[in-house]
Amino acid sequence: MFSETLMPRFSETDALGHINNTALPVWFEAARTPFFRFFTPDLDCNKWKLIVAKIEVEFKGELFYGQEITINSSISRIGNASFVICQEVYQHNELCAVGHATMVRYDFDKKASVALNDTEKAQLMEHFKAS
């Protein structure tokens, strides 16, 4: 599991003073960076090997500006050419949101998915957590 802590910004609030629902997919993407490095260690976009096939966000509670949050990211499924990253957002040790991103190993030249290799599967498996 990877864990990242960040401080919500004022620009991420809505009119009610809560964190806007659009902020979470952005936070989740940033917190997926350690997994991206398994496929593109230098994060060079010209060598990118992943696409997002699906994202989901389920809100469990309120999130507030100016109060630190923690995002825990783990792998919940590994397939032939895809895997699912499960992400949980905590504020004050309370689970506030859960996200899932289905990532696909992809060849941009061929416009087709590519099977995960053994090294990639092993790296992902190190962060596997059954849902």
The domain segmentation of the chain, as residue ranges, is: 2-125
- Domain 2-125 sits in which CATH superfamily? Hotdog Thioesterase (3.10.129.10)
Residue that the structure tokens 């849902």 belong to? 131
Average pLDDT across the chain, whole number? 95
Using the Cα atoms of residue 107, residue 113, residue 119 and residue 125 in order, give the sign of their dihedral: positive
pLDDT recorded at residue 55:
97
| pLDDT band for position 59 (cuts 50, 70, 90) | very high
Residue 15: its pLDDT value, please? Answer: 78
Rounded mean pLDDT, 72-98: 98
pLDDT digits (tens, 9 = 90+) for 20-44: 999 999 999 999 999 999 999 999 9
Q: Per-residue pLDDT for 131 more than 80?
A: no
